[in-house]
Amino acid sequence: MSKLTPLGSLPYPQPTDVADVPLHLQSLAEAIDGRTVLRFTDIANLQARVTNPVAGMVAWLGTPGRLFHYAGNHWAPVAPGPVHKVNNNEGSTTSTTFVETLTSATGDPMAVSFTAPPSGSVIVTVGAYTYNSAADGLAYMSAAVRLGTTVKLAAHEDRSSIVRSAARVSASTQFQVSGLTGGALHTVTPAYRAGGGAGNTASFDNRFVRIDPVT
């Protein structure tokens, strides 16, 4: 009867085993198979073929071209990195409540997708060249975080870059989001509003959003 190596639990034959070289090689190959770097086209192909993953498995996905590991309950990037998006198109709003689409802008809503890390926590940064049509007018830029269509964290003044100026000002803000579903695809969408007086127009140019995983 084959014995197992002490660390990797790989089978090897004993002198008393049946002299069946192909069978012994097959047993060894099958034991090693799940310990190598697996290769798949994308996450759907991986999940279809590896139906019973074991924590510690590593796989290369052609899309998005990164190494993933099985964290015990989901596949996650081996080294999760930041996600960044820029929109150089200027837009404006007179809304006094947060909106995700600016007037005269293209590319809105400016939603950015990311996979939540195992910690379920990320740092969100948003910013833009910002100004208001009135010298004492306000311009707010925040962001909403969603899992599918469910809002996990709404845009809010407490999580906003705030500018009071009729001149263009480069402003940004950063906040941490926790309690996300590790391994699930989420989105961050910038949101904007005007303030400081009726009819004021808040404008935003060279907008960006960045999501950094907290490991």
Q: 94: number of CA atoms within 13 Å, CB side?
A: 6
Would the pLDDT of 56 be above 90? Answer: no
Tens of pLDDT, residue by residue over 160-174, are 999 999 999 999 999
Would the pLDDT of 182 be above 90? Answer: no
Tens of pLDDT, residue by residue over 88-132, are 999 999 999 999 999 999 999 999 999 888 889 999 999 999 999
In this prediction, residues 36-52 reach a mean pLDDT of 89
In this prediction, residues 179-192 reach a mean pLDDT of 92
User: Class for domain 83-213, per CATH?
Assistant: mainly beta
Q: What is the pLDDT of residue 25?
A: 74
Cα(159)–Cα(4) distance, integer angstroms: 56
Distance, C-alpha 99 to centroid of its chain: 22
CA angle 75, 77, 80 (to 5 degrees): 140
Q: Which one is predicted more confidently, 35 or 139?
A: 139
Instruction: For the full predicted model, state whether its pTM sits above 0.85.
Output: no
Residues whose CB falls within 8 Å of the CB of residue 73, separated by 6 or more in sequence, listed in order:
182, 183
Average pLDDT, the chain: 89
Would you list the domain boundaries of the chain?
3-77, 83-213
Q: What is the CA radius of gyration of the chain?
A: 25
Cα(116)–Cα(188) distance, integer angstroms: 11
